[in-house]
Amino acid sequence: AQSVTQPDARVTVSEGASLQLRCKYSYSATPYLFWYVQYPRQGLQLLLKYYSGDPVVQGVNGFEAEFSKSNSSFHLRKASVHWSDSAVYFCAVSYNRIFFGDGTQLVVKP
Amino acid sequence: DMKVTQMPRYLIKRMGENVLLECGQDMSHETMYWYRQDPGLGLQLIYISYDVDSNSEGDIPKGYRVSRKKREHFSLILDSAKTNQTSVYFCASSLSGEVFFGKGTRLTVV
């Protein structure tokens, strides 16, 4: 069965520090891969997407993600976080339908 | 501007009442979704619609039904609402795997 795993329910980092949010998927082929962000009382917004090609994709607000076929992973990174990055981040995979991970809550300490 | 619009944003209903949640999109996407989101549980898929009158159950369809008579409009109906249906409901549409979300409807059943 297809699944998406975000192993960290909550991550706390200091402002200015680097960030990695982990995502692993379980699927035999390479699906489309996405990261979404959800701010309080809002819907999910697309951060970035991977369809094929260069395994490192750039997104909005300095976020990037790296696809690894060998590890079945699609980790999200940011070099220097800002307090406004505090939100819930969802990894998602899409083949015939989209599957979301359970989300990782990011808390950025001032 | 691509948009998914949900109405109403907030709704309070008594147990046993019927509830209608409305969703519209202006992108002519064929595929639309209804999700619910509860604290700590991520997104749960209720129904998928592949086009007008082409609807399929998601992971948690019990207690819900949907209607899609026009491509741009997808409704979620709760017949005789229950208190455990208190949640935030998100409508979404998709193209090429990328999902666009509305801002959600916060439903409270008392």
Q: What residue ranges do the domains of chain A occupy?
A: 3-109
Task: Kindly state the greatest CA–CA separation across chain B.
Answer: 39
CA distance B5 to chain A (A): 11
pLDDT of residue B77: 98
Residue A96 scores a pLDDT above 80: no
Which residues of chain A make contact with B43, given a CB cutoff of 8 A? Answer: 44, 90, 100
Nearest CB to B102: which of A41, A43, A101? A43
Q: Do B104 and A42 touch (CB under 8 A)?
A: yes
Domains of chain B: 4-109 (2.60.40.10)
Q: How much is the mean pLDDT over chain A?
A: 93
Q: What is the mean pLDDT of residues B9-32?
A: 96
Burial class of residue B79, CB neighbours in 10 A (0-12, 13-18, 19+): exposed
Q: Is B27 on the interface with A (CB under 8 A)?
A: no
Residue A108 scores a pLDDT above 80: yes
Q: What is the mean pLDDT of residues B74-86?
A: 96
Q: In three state form, how does the secondary structure of A38-79 look?
A: ECCCCCEEEEEEECCCCCEEECHHHCEEEEECCCCEEEEEEC
Q: How confident is the model at residue A40 (pLDDT cuts 50, 70, 90)?
A: confident
CA distance B82 to chain A (A): 23
3-state SS class at B38: coil
Lowest-pLDDT choice from A18-27, A84-93, B70-79, B89-98: B89-98
Q: Is A53 on the interface with B (CB under 8 A)?
A: no
Q: Is B102 on the interface with A (CB under 8 A)?
A: yes
Q: Which two tokens stand for residue A12?
A: 């706390």
Residue A1 scores a pLDDT above 70: no
Q: Which CATH architecture does the domain made up of A3-109 adopt?
A: Sandwich (2.60)
Q: What is the mean pLDDT of residues A7-20?
A: 97
Q: Is A94 on the interface with B (CB under 8 A)?
A: yes
pLDDT of residue B70: 97
Residue A2 scores a pLDDT above 70: no
pLDDT of residue A15: 97
Q: Is A46 on the interface with B (CB under 8 A)?
A: yes
Q: What is the mean pLDDT of residues A96-109?
A: 91
Q: Is B94 on the interface with A (CB under 8 A)?
A: yes
pLDDT of residue A30: 77
